Amino acid sequence: MSQHTADDGAADVRSAALPQRPGKVIAVHLSYASRADQRGRRPAHPSYFLKPSSSVAATGGTVERPAGTELLAFEGEVALVIGTPARWVPVDRAWDHVAAVTAANDLGLYDLRANDKGSNVRSKGGDGFTPLGPTLLDARTLDPAALRVRTWVNGELRQDDTTEGLIFPLTQLVADLSQHLTLEPGDVVLTGTPAGSSVIGPGDVVEVEVDAPTAPGSPSTGRLRTTVTQGEHAFDDALGSLPAVDDLQRAEAWGSREAAGLDAGPASGLSPGLRAQLLRAPTAALSAQLRRRGLDDVTIDGVRPLDPGAKLVGTARTLRFVPHREDLFASHGGGYNAQKRAFDAVGEGEVIVIEARGETGSGTLGDVLALRAHVRGAAGIVTDGGVRDEAAVAEVGIPVYARGAHPAVLGRRHVPWETDVAVACGGCTVLPGDVVVGDRDGVVVIPRALVQEVVDAALAQEDEDAWIAEQVAAGHPVDGLFPMNAAWRAQYEQWQARQERR
């Protein structure tokens, strides 16, 4: 790629495809505010991954969705083509090292994300997974903060955002990368995708365009066109891990659970009125009402609140750990594992319930994950294992119930295995969506179908018990009063009727 000089052949830059295969392609994980808000997590700093140059494809081509996969997703992006070597460049000089801007489609296969641990080697590195073009725009004529990227699928506009919406400006990305490695002429930087990325399938046609609508002449790359075809080759489990998807990957690939055809999640929320009732109801009263309905094994035993004054009310989002085993931790313990996915996916009003088998010989969470859950609006965390950084976790401000504290990381005893499944926590089976209530006495689990009936009965019992306490305080013996015989019951009902008339 030519350097920025007065006679560097700018016309060729504007009209030619990449003159040669780039030495390296560097992509940003998450950079647009709209995408970060959609994902529910906003990074403090940019992070990157490498795509092989063999993934680069030209406009008007095709891309295969491999046999046995379902979650091929498009990502329209602004691509920067480096013109002069960049190493340790400041932000105010970073754009001088960019020769051209073009359109890119950072295609990815979510079926292969689980074992990539964030590197995206398999999920983003396939042949044809980086279409670029169709033309290059001279970067000297462009304002890096005023570029627009749009994506159409089968003619329908799916993405529309500008670089003004970036969390990390384009110049910051170039300068930051130059701290770590030399950006060489011809290298390509994919600068992230805005909200709207979703799943595509065989027969779909994706078009990406980058333009500068406020610049003179409104220069445009034209539309980068890619057609999806169905691949014939399936992955061989004798060579490596097979594609695997779960509802979290489906939701992230499609952009939301609704778009993926899933329900609102394992916990669809509690109405404000029901939540207020549960906040008033002691766990002792709730437990008694559950017992009357034949449910005795609905307490999470052995856990204590880090803040005894905090009340916990929410719907369960579950996380399961299995006992530590070296080979399993190697495949499931690192990178973006089930533990991290659970804390990134927890929703407002949900309680993360962790099955740790009562093992307190290591932590199951620390202050960073507690903070993540708090920022996400989670109602609390319950683990029958240990907590690291107990004092710091308690200061986060989210109700946390644990079996104990331990300074070791989870890998000493656990492998984070799966999310949103039935778990056994403190001797109690907890299903995603169950209602979880905790106070000083402990934690109870209420089946969703029974919650309104149980809380109504518990609050009614509380009123009754308060009246009985008044009678005892006035000097009456408990015989016949607790529980009430017919005579006392008649007096209570008369008192209750008077209260209702007021």
One DSSP character per residue, 40-96 reads T---SS--EEEE-GGGEE-TTEEEEE-TT---EE--EEEEEEE-S-BSS--HHHHGG
pLDDT at 379 over 70: yes
Residue with tokens 């016949």: 480
Query: Are 226 and 341 part of one and the same domain?
Result: no
Torsion angle of alpha carbons 67, 72, 78, 82, nearest 10°?
A: -40
Query: Are 157 and 81 part of one and the same domain?
Result: yes
Query: Are 448 and 481 part of one and the same domain?
Result: no
Query: Are 420 and 472 part of one and the same domain?
Result: no
Q: Are 451 and 281 contacting, i.e. CB atoms less than 8 angstroms apart?
A: no
In a domain, 267, yes or no: no
Query: Are 438 and 489 part of one and the same domain?
Result: no
Which run of H or E residues covers position 407?
none
Query: Are 388 and 474 part of one and the same domain?
Result: no
In a domain, 62, yes or no: yes
Whole-angstrom distance, CA of residue 139 vs CA of residue 8: 12
Outline where 96-147 has alpha helix (H). 121-124
For residue 436, list its beta bridge partners: 314, 445
Domain with 305, as residue range(s), is: 272-452
pLDDT at 309 over 90: no
pLDDT tens by residue, 16-29: 467 788 999 999 99
What CATH code is carried by the domain that includes residue 213? 3.90.850.10
What average pLDDT does this structure show over 280-288?
93
In a domain, 2, yes or no: no
Q: Are 212 and 147 contacting, i.e. CB atoms less than 8 angstroms apart?
A: yes
pLDDT at 9 over 60: no
Report helix angle 367-375 to 338-345, nearest 10: 30
Query: Are 63 and 194 part of one and the same domain?
Result: yes
**Distances from the Cα of 407 to the Cα of 201, 230, 370, 411, 428, angstroms:** 47, 50, 15, 12, 26
pLDDT at 168 over 50: yes
**Numbers of helices and strands, H then E, in the chain:** 14, 28
Query: Are 186 and 290 part of one and the same domain?
Result: no
In a domain, 5, yes or no: no
In a domain, 1, yes or no: no
Count Cβ atoms within 10 A of the Cβ of residue 497 and give its class: 0-12 exposed, 13-18 middle, 19 or more buried: exposed
Query: 204, 225, 254 — which closes off a domain?
Result: 254
Q: Which pair of tokens denotes residue 253?
A: 């690939």
In a domain, 261, yes or no: no
Query: Are 219 and 76 part of one and the same domain?
Result: yes
Query: Are 307 and 442 part of one and the same domain?
Result: yes
Query: 254, 285, 302 — which closes off a domain?
Result: 254
In this predicted structure, what is the pLDDT of residue 245?
A: 82
Q: How many domains does the chain have?
A: 3
pLDDT tens by residue, 69-102: 999 999 999 999 999 999 999 999 999 999 999 9
In a domain, 259, yes or no: no
pLDDT tens by residue, 458-474: 998 888 888 888 888 98
276 HSE (CA, 13 A, CB side)? 3
Other Cβ atoms within 10 Å of 457 Cβ, number: 19
In this predicted structure, what is the pLDDT of residue 501?
A: 67
What CATH code is carried by the domain that includes residue 366? 3.50.30.40
Query: Are 54 and 106 part of one and the same domain?
Result: yes
pLDDT tens by residue, 334-363: 888 999 999 998 988 999 999 999 999 999
pLDDT tens by residue, 179-219: 999 999 999 999 999 999 999 999 999 999 999 999 999 99
In a domain, 264, yes or no: no
Phi, psi of 65 (to 5 degrees): -90, 115
Phi-psi region at 426: left, alpha or beta (left = phi > 0; alpha = psi -120 to 50):
left
Phi-psi region at 372: left, alpha or beta (left = phi > 0; alpha = psi -120 to 50):
alpha
Query: Are 206 and 82 part of one and the same domain?
Result: yes
